[in-house]
Structure 1
């Protein structure tokens, strides 16, 4: 489960269901599917696992799905279900399923890293702030700087310190819980 994710668990002797209210999950299911089906439900519909490894991310108006192994059955609330095969990704609303595209590798957050590929510093700081307590922000004067790399989420203070080595920024700490990235 990624940061800022909310899930309700509903496991019974006949089924295993997660109700994903916010955020995203990386799921690996076993082969108990015939005895106790495993599904993830969102506001837009459900994703039924068929012995698989996949990510489900809920957005305000849609559900995003990435499938790495196995197969899934996607069932939006108001349209025909569709099968998703290994190596595909798609998104769906309650009314439709988008065409699938090829999926890349598993998300970096699943292994405790934040990956940036020519990302705006403002977006990077917003993502990093999801993994630490308190207020983390950057000023508008540095928000458009670009950053690339893979950063460990376990030590966000070390990540912030590393930014001063590669970008013209300084880290202003009023406390551990109030940090601002600004121009040097």
Structure 2
């Protein structure tokens, strides 16, 4: 079974279950199903699998998929061959939400992309990020997630968010969209910020501020090496383990849990994001922890009993 076809079927299923599908979406789905016999076969199998797990709690369904019973093994293999597909609304919804899927460019959980733009500019997308790009208007819309934009020339580009706009020219900036606002971090140069009311302010290199529905908050200094994700690195300097793990789980599909007693342990180091399982093992060995994995999608950290 082609993974791209299976992934597409999961995305379509998630869209329908979200209740946000339009008539145009239904027509596009029907066109996709009609365009190739394997598309229709995969779609029917996806719905069959979804019905089989409709009464199972979503997290437990994921666990059962990692350890299929013999009677179910043939069904799973015959259907989509992807344990991550069912329930689609859980895992695909986490990795590729509806708005993300519809965007021009997106990354799944744990994925990062670097894209060259016109005039020497470059765009990087962090984990679980979606953007719409209009190069003719030199405009980028951050739908969700986090981006880094470097514009070396004087011809500025605009980054629009749910909470306002940024004018970026001869500057290097990171923008992370959160539920309550955007975190704007200027590495070099100067960035003009316009909030939803039309008020403007300028942030300079080494400054960071939060942009929300109420406007731009006061800036603070930050470590320009902090956005290490651009180089595939997650860095901690005497950081609380709880804060570090909350950042790490952005890059891991599934569930990551830890005992509350681990929150205040301290972490220092640089960790490669390409292998988050390896990061957990390193934390366990240096901090005296145990990594308990029910499945590859459900991992818990606890203090070692040894």
**What does residue 126 of structure 1 align with?**
246
Displacement of 1:137: 1.7
Partner of 1:154, secondary structure, is coil
How does 1:30-179 map onto structure 2 within 5 Å? 30-31=152-153, 33=155, 37-106=156-225, 107-179=227-299
Shifted more, 132-141 versus 16-25: the winner is 132-141
* CA displacement at 1:32 relative to structure 2: 6.3
Q: Distance in 1 between matches of 2:215 and 2:273?
A: 35
Secondary structure at the aligned position of 2:143 is classed as strand
Match of 1:9 among 122, 129, 133: 133
Q: What's the secondary structure of 2:262's corresponding residue? A: coil
Show structure 1 runs of 5+ residues with no match.
Answer: none
How much has 1:76 moved relative to structure 2?
Answer: 0.8
Question: What's the secondary structure of 1:115's corresponding residue?
Answer: strand
Distance change in 2, residues 1:148/1:86 (3 Å): closer
Q: In the superposition, relative to structure 1, how do residues 84 and 154 fare at CA in structure 2: closer, same or farther (>3 Å)?
A: same
How many residues of Structure 1 are paired with residues of Structure 2 in the alignment? 179
8 A Cα contact 1:63 1:91, kept in partner: yes
Match in the other structure for 2:144: 22
Q: Does the 8 A contact of 2:154 with 2:169 survive in 1?
A: no
Q: Compute the displacement of 1:83 (Å).
A: 2.5
Partner deviation per Cα, 1:104-136 (whole Å, 9 max, x = no partner): 213122211112233332332222122122222
Give the RMSD, CA atoms, in angstroms: 2.1
Whichever of the two has the greater Rg, that structure is 2
Where is the helix percentage greater, Structure 1 or Structure 2? Answer: 2
**Higher share in strand:** 1
